[in-house]
Amino acid sequence: MTSLLALSPLILVCATAIVVMLAIAWRRCYDLTATLTVIGLNLALAAQLLAWWQAPLDVTPLLTVDGLSIFGGVLILVATLACATLGHAYLEGARGPREEYYLLLLCAAAGGIALVSSRHLASLFFSLELLSMPLYGMLAYTYRERGALEAGVKYMVLSAAASAFLLFGMALLYAFTGHLDFAGLGGALASAGGDGWLLAGMGMMLIGLGFKLSIVPFHLWTPDVYEGSPAPAATFLASASKVAVLVVLLRLLQSAPATQDAWFHSLLAVLAFVTMLVGNLLALMQQDLKRLLGYSSIAHFGYLLVALVINEGLAVETAGIYLVTYVLTTLGAFGVVTLLSSPYGGADASRLHHYRGLFWRRPYLTAVLTVMMLSLAGIPLTAGFIGKFYIVAVGVEASRWWLVGGVVAGSAIGLFYYLRVMVTLFLPEPGMQRRDATTDWAQRAGGVVVLALAALVVLLGVYPAPMIDWVRLMAAT
Amino acid sequence: MLDFALKISVALFAIAIVLNLYRVAVGPSLPDRILALDTMYVNSIALIVLFGIWLGHRTYFEAALLIAMLGFVSTVAVCKYLLRGDIIE
Amino acid sequence: MSLLLIVLLPLLGSLLPSLSSNQRRHQCALLTAAMPLIALLVTLRETPGVIAGEVPRLAFSWVPALGLDLALRLDGLSLLFVLLILGIGLLIILYARHYLSEADNMPRFYAYLMLFMTSMLGIVMADNLILLWMFWELTSLSSFLLIGFWSHQSAARKGARMALAVTGMGGLALLAGLILIGQIVGTFDMQTVLDSRDVILADPRYLPALLLILLGAFTKSAQFPFQFWLPQAMAAPTPVSAFLHSATMVKAGVFLLARLHPALAGSQEWLYLVSLTGLVTMLYGAYFALIKLDLKTILAYSTVSHLGLITMLFGLNSQMAVVAGLFHILNHATFKAALFMTAGIVDHECGTRDIRKLKGLWRYMPMTTALAAITAASMAGFPLLNGFLSKEMMLAETLETPLLGGLAWLIPVLATIGSILAAAYSLRYVRNTFFDGKPRELEKTPHEASFPMRLPVLVLAIVCIIIGLFPAFSATGILTTAADAALTMPAPELHLSIWHGFNLPLLMSAIALIGGFMVYVLRQHLFTFHRQFPSRNSLAIFEGAVQRLVRFTQWGIDTLENGSLQRYMLWVVISALAVSGMSLMGIETLKGELAVQKADPLLIVGAAITCFAGLATAFLHRRRLISLIMLSVVGLMASLAFARFSAPDLALTQLAVEVVTVILLMLALFFLPQKTPKESSASRIVRDVLLAAGFGGVVASLNYALLTRPLNSISDYFLEHSVSGGGGHNVVNVILVDFRGFDTLGEITVLCIAGIGIYKLLNRLRLFMPSSDSEGRPWSPDRYPMILASVSQSLLPMALLVSVFIFLRGHNAPGGGFIAGLVTAVALILMYIAHGVEWAQQRLSFQYQPIAVSGVAIATLTGVGSWAFGYPFLTSAFGHFHIPLIGDVELATAMLFDLGVYLTVVGATLMILANLGKVTTSHRPSKQKEKA
């Protein structure tokens, strides 16, 4: 019974998926499907409280419910709710079947929740696949657009290759330690130390997981996929799937002290440094907002990797706080793009010239986007500043000067392109053809979500204490 | 005695398969290649049966049976393809 | 509480102008000025207490986890700056009211200005290191908004961007430095930090922290080599320049030096770094102020120079120098703000700031001329004005410093040279603008500015004079308290007076004035010398650097991310190769302890054939049919290998699957081109081959290494328990249907779904059918060759018999449901091939979906059935039965499961193959057909 309660969010999401599937088969109604999805997700979010009651608890050899998994689960559910509401407005104008989008979204969310709770290589793999496969469909959902089809195919092929490497690494680890669960692996790695086989296995696993997190040099798919795919799907990809994979990577690194080995440790540090710089540098050129956000997410995960590399002291708390601020900001930024492209009418309105002079048409929407850009840049009084401060503090405390230098340089470069977006918003109108959000965007569910996110970002920037306390609580369990 | 005979037959069939492979690789026309492939199937029937004799039990007999029964179907499919293009019509 | 008011009132003031509009400018200005005025009154109320020595402090806990508190203090140093900021700010509000033209949006301007004022007040009153940094960043941001106020001008936008980039980068470095200090001391609280000099200086991290903090201070105060952004920031409206770039924002850097002086100063590093930078900046700025041609640029460079002077004074590790520096901050703010305002007046009235065109303006604006002359004289260090006093103190301090040891005489010499240049450019400013002939090519007729515009300048000039004439009376009090704060110890007694007797500093001042005059007279030679240098526009250089960075990243993008999927795969594979290769190299021997099995000649021949065929498949991939034939060879060899290595089930399965695959491929090949065009260049082929070979080699090595190491495998368990646990002698089959039955259930479900999916995808699919073969020959007219038809018809019952036989014996001998299903399916498809769809349709008139689905259902029900007996899902039971006529048979419920597998395989395979085949006939799958 306690296990069922502990797993209730996961069970609820899966149940919602089945209910939605049956509803689609019985009577196709777009609004009904969306409502069912949202209700189910809200119930699952409430059920996290039930699960928290039971935490920490090892449910099966595959899953565990502790503070970290509840933290990840809450973030994923919030992100999925946002994607569902944004998708509702977006897909109004789409031709062809629209209800399956919610089904795919729910399956992916279930995979994500399972992934953050997994403590066994088997559950890691199948939840990772459960998370990725619906994404193949979601990213190519508006397949009549060439960009979407290209995005879906690219993601599918490269993700399959990455999964192959992940499996190979897992096989190597199993062959030489005989354990598949994280705890057993950790123990075996601690005693075996820097054996070449184990490093090879960890390295291959890192390739697989690094692909999902867009770590350089496995980041190549990110900008193309973000640009081509429909905005709500890109939102999910940028927020929930990254959160899930990062949490599981964190869990792996916590339990397996292979990172203490010099080779692996320096590999991670080098990857973090390069990711920060490359992500920011390559974003300078972009003319498309979704591509720019793609590169910026690469850079942000570079910053996060710094916290993972350091892995001592406040590192877990830092990673948690940064994740929260990143998710909120990303949801907001992509939310604005989605609202501007709703209802669906061809390619998304994501090129920068669509945003020129947005302030004069939609001041509140512009305010939201400005707040998000400021937060991404790490300006004080926004949530992003809190996260970035934590990263710099952790880096300075551990005396990792190269990494701190990378964060500083990356943020300085980042300022440029975020500023460019903000300036574009306020330029005088040119009078050429442009896409616009519907006039009643603030009354639609998506608009409310986006406004709430902006308010939250500012609120957390000014008064971050509740968030910090919550993350601390989660990290302690 | 049986051993000696077995070894020679296996060697001969192996050479036969190699020659078939040569014909598949070189054969100037497509029918040549297809027939060579079919002959390869037939030779492998022989190899499997010989293997069964050498081992002394009949576990592999069904493999030979299946090749004999179904091996020609793939050849048939390819030939029909060459003739008509559309296999099932 | 009043401290909070001082900071927050201007913040409120930034919201008030939006209540008014651009039209009602008077009202707007009054609304804006109200808040700073109140704040100033509050400050004045606190002043007596502060001068007496109290330090009011205020602290709210904000983010305790980060050590960030909302803590404010008002000590002497803060008081000095607050009075400067608020006082000059009010004057600027008045000035801007009349300066801004009709087109400029006044409420927005005032809002930005008040925002800036808030952040500046926050910096000077912050009692927590991180809070100070936050306000620091806000000043950068608000100055960006102010500099780029005239956003229609490209120079303004670029100047704003450059300012933000430089100060932003410095700000981030400052953050790192402040965090470091916080960690050395243990807290971010300012008072504790200020009291911890010994701890900080002794710590090994002192130098990095110092460097980072200096980086922040120098970028903000435009010290060499970061001075280039300040002249470009002159694209801002003049009130902005007067406020930010003379009196307040650039002073933030030197404020930081003063504020952290008790904590960081006293060491040799501080002495050398700060003083030398200051000195170099002073000379650099003074030189360029003499050369430049735009009024505001001259003043900008002179600001740079004076800031260098102040920096140098803070660098000299002496108490009087700190006092002198503070004094000069005060003086410089007053005269520089006034001078900027006069430049603004000139610009406003004459329409240009080019010093070559402006001459002899004294006729048109006498009062402005007088005021400009007074303040410029103060800048030059003319006696009886405040500039003279602080400059003389500076010169006195340079005489005493131990900097540079034996070469210490250089310092006063260089300082004197700086003063000479200062006098020269001050004289140039006044004389060339207001005297020396008649104005040339002016757009507007110059006239005196309106009185409200001159009033602020007048006020500031009066302040200069008062401080200059009565220093002891006016300035001592505030200076002493400020110095107390900056030194955290009682300051030395200040005897500020105009006359100290004939001494060396006086001589140096005199030399400065006279020398300046001479340099001015001889300035043409200097100009000619300077013209030899190529003119370097710092904005162009900065933009050039940015463009180069951008081009570099563009190149990076084009090589790495050209949108090609193959390119991305390439990088992924290369990285994987690197990782696995490197770790392989870390292993000593590849081969493990297990012995390698012996290879007999047949095996070698088989392996050689497989390799050859595999390579041929790849090489001949452009000729598809031949490639497929080679693929069949590989498949056959694989089955033979399975047979050789004692895996009869696998051999059977491989053979059956081989046949089905060939049929499927032939079905598909009909609709596809027979030949592939050449797509890769030769070099690309080489690259790909090398990469593939490398990766294959690495994986092969890994496999070899693993195979030769003694590792536990799970097969022992199954071998032991297959009879006792599953009731069958065929371990493979028992694993499939019993031990791992759930897995098999999942697989047949997938197979069924795939079949249904394919059926649906073929719905109304219309494909192009070639009317002749690849070489152009027409198709043969013989649709159903007779030999094939007869032979296949007699084959069917035999095949079905074999299939049932294999099915029944599967549990104890090689065989099983899967193979049986495939055999049945192939036999039935042969019917379709040999006789055609019409004929087969008449005899096999049922749909295949129900067969597949019923197969899955049977398998599931078998598993569910075990629930009825109280066992977990898919537990099987077996027993011995005696069937009449057949004899003793050992049956297991797993056979029911196998039946499900059999039906699913038959149904799914036929679904796929038959429907693919029907696409070209009238029986193709379509929605109308179903309804009919």
Closest CA to A230 of A302, A338, A132: A338
- Averaged pLDDT, C782-810: 89
Q: Over the stretch C7-26, which tens digit does the pLDDT of each residue have?
A: 888 888 777 777 776 677 77
> Residue type at A127?
S
Cβ atoms of residues C288 and C308 within 8 Å: no
Please give the Cα distance from B6 to B13 (Å, whole number).
Answer: 11
Joined tokens for residue C741: 């039955």
Contacts of C921 in chain B (CB under 8 A): 88-89
| Element (DSSP H or E) covering residue A152 | helix A146-177
Instruction: Establish, for the pair of chains A and C, how many residue pairs have beta carbons separated by less than 8 Å.
Output: 140
User: What are the beta bridge partners of residue C294?
Assistant: C354
Cis status of the peptide bond prior to A217, with omega within 30 of 0:
yes
Q: Over the stretch A425-463, which tens digit does the pLDDT of each residue have?
A: 877 766 555 667 777 777 778 888 888 899 989 888 888
- Which of the two residues, A210 and C887, has the higher pLDDT score? A210
- Averaged pLDDT, C508-513: 84
Cβ atoms of residues A305 and A292 within 8 Å: no
**Interchain contact, C651 vs B69, CB within 8 Å:** no
- On whether any CB of chain A is under 8 Å from the CB of C208, the answer is yes
- Which of the two residues, A128 and C154, has the higher pLDDT score? A128
Joined tokens for residue C931: 């309804």
Contacts of A157 in chain C (CB under 8 A): 565, 569
Give the per-residue pLDDT at C928: 53
Please give the Cα distance from C425 to C419 (Å, whole number).
Answer: 10
**Interchain contact, C655 vs B73, CB within 8 Å:** no
Closest CA to C86 of C247, C307, C327: C247
Number of residues that this document lists for chain C: 932
With cut-offs at 50, 70 and 90, classify the pLDDT of residue C547: confident
- Which of the two residues, C540 and C751, has the higher pLDDT score? C751
Please give the Cα distance from C794 to A216 (Å, whole number).
Answer: 63
User: What are the beta bridge partners of residue C68?
Assistant: C63
Answer yes or no: is pLDDT of A298 > 90: yes
Which letter does DSSP use for residue C493 in this model?
Answer: P
- Angle between helix A196-213 and helix C565-585 axes, rounded to 10 deg: 160
Please give the Cα distance from C305 to C387 (Å, whole number).
Answer: 14
- Averaged pLDDT, A320-325: 93
Closest CA–CA distance from residue B78 to any residue of chain C (Å): 7
Give the up-direction half-sphere exposure of residue C369: CA atoms within 13 A in the CB hemisphere: 18
The alpha helices in C620-740, defined as continuous H runs, are 624-644, 648-669, 682-707, 715-721, 731-734
With cut-offs at 50, 70 and 90, classify the pLDDT of residue B47: very high
**Interchain contact, A389 vs C130, CB within 8 Å:** yes
Query: To the nearest whole percent, how much of chain A has pLDDT over 70?
Result: 96
Joined tokens for residue A426: 């306020």
- Which of the two residues, A55 and C897, has the higher pLDDT score? C897
> Residue type at A166?
L
For residue A220, how many other CB atoms are within 10 A of its CB?
Answer: 25
Give the per-residue pLDDT at C929: 52
pTM of the entire predicted model: 0.83
- C-alpha triplet C38, C7, C257: angle, nearest 5°: 125
Phi first, then psi, for residue C888 (nearest 5°) are -75, 125
Helix (H, G, I), strand (E, B) or coil at C73: strand
Please give the Cα distance from A197 to C592 (Å, whole number).
Answer: 13
**Interchain contact, C572 vs A200, CB within 8 Å:** no
Contacts of A223 in chain C (CB under 8 A): 561
What ipTM goes with this model?
0.95
Contacts of C560 in chain A (CB under 8 A): 220
* 3-class DSSP string for chain A: CHHHHHCHHHHHHHHHHHHHHHHHHHCCCHHHHHHHHHHHHHHHHHHHHHHHHHCCEECCCCEEECHHHHHHHHHHHHHHHHHHHHHHHHHHHCCCCCCHHHHHHHHHHHHHHHHHHECEHHHHHHHHHHHHHHHHHHHCCCCCCHHHHHHHHHHHHHHHHHHHHHHHHHHHHHHHHCCCEHHHHHHHHHHHCCCHHHHHHHHHHHHHHHHHHCCCCCCCHHHHHHHHCCHHHHHHHHHHHHHHHHHHHHHHHHHCHHHHCHHHHHHHHHHHHHHHHHHHHHHCCCCEHHHHHHHHHHHHHHHHHHHHHHCCCCHHHHHHHHHHHHHHHHHHHHHHHHHHHCCCCCCCCCEHHHHCCHHHHCHHHHHHHHHHHHHHHCCCCCHHHHHHHHHHHHHHHCCCHHHHHHHHHHHHHHHHHHHHHHHHHHCCCCCCCCCCCCCCCCCCHHHHHHHHHHHHHHHHHHCCHHHHHHHHHHHHC
Please give the Cα distance from C397 to C389 (Å, whole number).
Answer: 13
Give the per-residue pLDDT at C694: 87
> Residue type at C615?
L
Instruction: Establish, for the pair of chains B and C, how many residue pairs have beta carbons separated by less than 8 Å.
Output: 149
Please give the Cα distance from C378 to C430 (Å, whole number).
Answer: 12
Please give the Cα distance from C655 to C633 (Å, whole number).
Answer: 11
Please give the Cα distance from C371 to C458 (Å, whole number).
Answer: 7
Cis status of the peptide bond prior to C225, with omega within 30 of 0:
yes
- Which residues touch C766 (CB under 8 Å, ≥6 apart)? none
Closest CA–CA distance from residue A26 to any residue of chain C (Å): 19
Left if phi > 0, otherwise alpha if psi is -120 to 50, otherwise beta: which for C331?
Answer: alpha
Contacts of C780 in chain B (CB under 8 A): 83-84
- Averaged pLDDT, C801-814: 87
Closest CA to C636 of B83, A133, B44: B44
Left if phi > 0, otherwise alpha if psi is -120 to 50, otherwise beta: which for C777?
Answer: beta
Answer yes or no: is pLDDT of A477 > 80: no
> Residue type at C628?
L
Which partners does chain A have (≥3 C-beta pairs < 8 Å)? C
Closest CA to C306 of C323, C284, C290: C284
With cut-offs at 50, 70 and 90, classify the pLDDT of residue C523: confident
With cut-offs at 50, 70 and 90, classify the pLDDT of residue C234: confident
Give the per-residue pLDDT at C932: 38
Joined tokens for residue A316: 């877990």
Joined tokens for residue C460: 């500031």
Of the residues C123, C166, C175, the best mutation for testing chain A's interface (the one with the most A CB atoms within 10 Å of its CB) is C175
Give the per-residue pLDDT at C491: 67
* 3-class DSSP string for B36-56: HHHHHHHHHHHHHHHHHHHHC
Please give the Cα distance from B26 to B29 (Å, whole number).
Answer: 9
Which partners does chain C have (≥3 C-beta pairs < 8 Å)? A, B
With cut-offs at 50, 70 and 90, classify the pLDDT of residue C99: confident
For residue A392, how many other CB atoms are within 10 A of its CB?
Answer: 23
- On whether any CB of chain A is under 8 Å from the CB of C66, the answer is yes
Cis status of the peptide bond prior to A56, with omega within 30 of 0:
yes
Joined tokens for residue A156: 């599918």
Average pLDDT of the residues of chain C: 84
- Which residues touch C421 (CB under 8 Å, ≥6 apart)? C283, C286, C287, C289, C290, C305, C516, C519
Q: Over the stretch C69-79, which tens digit does the pLDDT of each residue have?
A: 888 888 888 88
A and B adjacent (3 or more CB pairs under 8 angstroms): no
Give the per-residue pLDDT at A431: 59
Distances (CA, A) of C675 to A291, B31, B78, C106, C628: 38, 18, 16, 73, 12
Q: Over the stretch A130-178, which tens digit does the pLDDT of each residue have?
A: 999 999 999 999 888 888 999 999 999 999 999 999 999 999 888 888 8
> Residue type at C181?
I
Contacts of B9 in chain C (CB under 8 A): none
Please give the Cα distance from A462 to B31 (Å, whole number).
Answer: 80
With cut-offs at 50, 70 and 90, classify the pLDDT of residue A129: very high
Answer yes or no: is pLDDT of C511 > 90: no
With cut-offs at 50, 70 and 90, classify the pLDDT of residue A465: confident
Q: Over the stretch C690-699, which tens digit does the pLDDT of each residue have?
A: 988 988 888 8
Please give the Cα distance from C562 to C17 (Å, whole number).
Answer: 50
Answer yes or no: is pLDDT of C198 > 80: yes
- How do strand C57-63 and strand A64-65 relate by DSSP bridges? unpaired
- Which of the two residues, A210 and C507, has the higher pLDDT score? A210
Beta strands in C434-567 (DSSP E): none
Give the per-residue pLDDT at C931: 42
Cβ atoms of residues C340 and C296 within 8 Å: yes
Domains and CATH numbers, chain B: 2-84 (1.10.287)
Asked which of A19-23, C197-201, C327-331, C623-627 is least confident by mean pLDDT, the reply is C197-201
Please give the Cα distance from C571 to C568 (Å, whole number).
Answer: 5
With cut-offs at 50, 70 and 90, classify the pLDDT of residue C320: confident
**Interchain contact, C580 vs A200, CB within 8 Å:** yes
